[in-house]
A and B are shown apart, each in its own frame.
Chain A
């Protein structure tokens, strides 16, 4: 099984960034079972990385590997949507698309 390489872009040491990191770690531990590598990038410390990646907003999570590259934005609290967005597992979407 290919390891997932995930990059999480955050802005500074804020409660929102901390929440995103914790949420993502929980999702990864539960769903990817150590088959992942998570890199956290603070765009204030590494603005050039955000510029290269054309990151518009944070938190932004990028699935670098395995291809195809996927990118999701938001608060990362909804595990199902995170996995769907990363194309890791396909979850049925309701008619409204909100769940």
Chain B
């Protein structure tokens, strides 16, 4: 309490008693009093209206009516009051008149020190009452705010007592449980039991399947008794989304696992976060490359560094850093027996937490082999085309229309036309000889092909055959063999035939030379013709 003097308003119609009280109060202790005496209630009201009265001291005469107290009651709410009453007044009447009455005395038996002490007590008591009233108001405001917060909470809130009876529920709880407040209040909900912080419940009274709520429970005091505050959160949509995500993830994984491509997701540290499931030994196990060592939990970058795959490593790092949208490289993976190829494709992947890359490993071995085979096939086709062109040119050479006309004029027609049966016979023999020559080369068997060729040259010389006849025989045989022969064998025929026709030509030249020498010996040198053959245009070449 501070040291300011207590301002006492004394209502006393009897001046003698008022002065007695005035004298008594300052003597009763160290507390300073300032007494204002009025004789009428009307004056008292004016003082009270000023608001600086600490104590209202009221002395009453027996004959005085208590009615004037009624208007004073409102003013007296904040002012402690001590009442000096006459013994003849009925106390109950006084209590009814002054509800906030602190204390009262028998006026004729009053001890003034006691009056002073009790006046202080009245002040303290009134202050306490005032504080209690304030706290009570604050508590009511606080509780109203609390109920308001709970009522507006999106989570359903139920308060149940220890028997599981519902004592309170908010609108959100009504919605979640699909029940009205008045239907559940006072009803049995249940004693909440959870092992951890939360548990999941199925909502029974909601229409539709899979209605779920998450329940939390805390102990509280509710209206003076221990209770449970149950909060229910509708997690139906969340569960649907989770299920959809799980299904989507399973769907994606099934697709990933169904494709014949090994896919690895690699984070910024090179760690392989996940892979799809491909067939066992997707990468050849005998291969010397590092791809066979790829597995979830391994470090791709380390494997690249160890294998010296710098280009691939740099490509992946560029994609990770965002410097490139993608990276592709063909990666050989040879084994001692055969070669395998993989196309490695790197694409960025923006995850929730960090940037990653998706590395696809596509087996392109078949494509590579097919491409190689196609290239070889094209080369062979080109070679065969070249040979065909050669044969055609030889045929054209063997059958020049102008040469046939010239030959007809001189009576020297090709063997094919002059002696077709013999030509066919020679063609057959040449055909056999070319096979024998091929065997001789391949299997080192001596078929004496040269001797047969020499004999054939003698026969051709006897028939006065020229180079065109030889080319005709040679090209006819090759043409017949080329139809149904494997390209490789056809190639061998062409190469071997080229040697044979040259050898045959040599033997024919040799035959004509021998013929020329024989003629020269029988004739005088002067009479010798300039050329052994009388075929125009051929003698010079022989």
Give A residues with C-beta under 8 Å from B: 9-12, 14, 16, 43, 50, 54-60, 69-78, 81-82, 84-85, 96-98
Q: Could you tell me if B204 and A55 are in contact, using CB atoms closer than 8 angstroms?
A: yes
Q: Could you tell me if A73 and B192 are in contact, using CB atoms closer than 8 angstroms?
A: yes
**Chain B contact patch, size range:** 20 to 34
The proximity string for B residues 181-217 relative to A, scoring 1 for CB distances below 8 Å and 0 otherwise, is 0001001111111110001111111000000010100
Q: Could you tell me if A70 and B204 are in contact, using CB atoms closer than 8 angstroms?
A: no
Q: Assuming the A-B contacts A81-B193, A98-B219, are A71 and B200 also in contact, with contact meaning beta carbons closer than 8 angstroms in the complex?
A: no
Total CB contacts across the A-B interface at under 8 A: 88
Q: Contact check: which of A69, A71, A74 meets B215 at CB < 8 Å?
A: A74
Q: Contact check: which of B199, B204, B228 meets A56 at CB < 8 Å?
A: B204
The interface residues of chain B, by DSSP majority, are classed as strand
CB pairs A–B below 8 angstroms (25 shown): A10-B202, A54-B187, A56-B179, A56-B203, A56-B204, A57-B203, A57-B213, A58-B201, A60-B190, A72-B192, A73-B189, A73-B192, A74-B195, A74-B199, A74-B201, A75-B193, A75-B200, A78-B194, A78-B195, A81-B193, A81-B194, A85-B164, A85-B190, A85-B193, A96-B219
Q: Which residue of B lies closest to A72 (CB)?
A: B191
Which of A50, A59, A73, A82 has the most chain B CB within a 10 Å cutoff?
A73
Least Cβ–Cβ distance between A23 and chain B, in angstroms: 9
Q: B271 on the interface (CB 8 Å rule)?
A: no
Q: Which residue of B lies closest to A55 (CB)?
A: B204
Least Cβ–Cβ distance between B185 and chain A, in angstroms: 13
Q: Contact check: which of B164, B177, B205, B215 meets A72 at CB < 8 Å?
A: B164
Give B residues with C-beta under 8 Å from A: 163-164, 177, 179, 184, 187-195, 199-205, 213, 215, 218-219, 226, 228
Q: Could you tell me if B205 and A56 are in contact, using CB atoms closer than 8 angstroms?
A: yes
Q: Contact check: which of A11, A14, A73, A97 meets B191 at CB < 8 Å?
A: A73
Which of A12, A75, A77 has the most chain B CB within a 10 Å cutoff?
A75
Q: Assuming the A-B contacts A72-B164, A82-B193, A85-B193, are A54 and B200 also in contact, with contact meaning beta carbons closer than 8 angstroms in the complex?
A: no
Q: Which residue of A lies closest to B189 (CB)?
A: A56
Which of A54, A70, A74, A82 has the most chain B CB within a 10 Å cutoff?
A74
Least Cβ–Cβ distance between A46 and chain B, in angstroms: 11
Give the distance in Å from the alpha carbon of A97 to the alpha carbon of B229 in the complex: 12
Least Cβ–Cβ distance between B102 and chain A, in angstroms: 41
Q: Could you tell me if A76 and B177 are in contact, using CB atoms closer than 8 angstroms?
A: no
Contacts of A82 in B (CB 8 A): 193
Q: Could you tell me if B201 and A57 are in contact, using CB atoms closer than 8 angstroms?
A: yes
Q: Could you tell me if A58 and B215 are in contact, using CB atoms closer than 8 angstroms?
A: no
The 8 closest A-B pairs by CB, nearest first: A97-B219, A74-B193, A85-B191, A11-B202, A73-B190, A77-B195, A57-B201, A71-B190
Q: Which residue of A lies closest to B178 (CB)?
A: A56
Q: Which residue of B lies closest to A74 (CB)?
A: B193
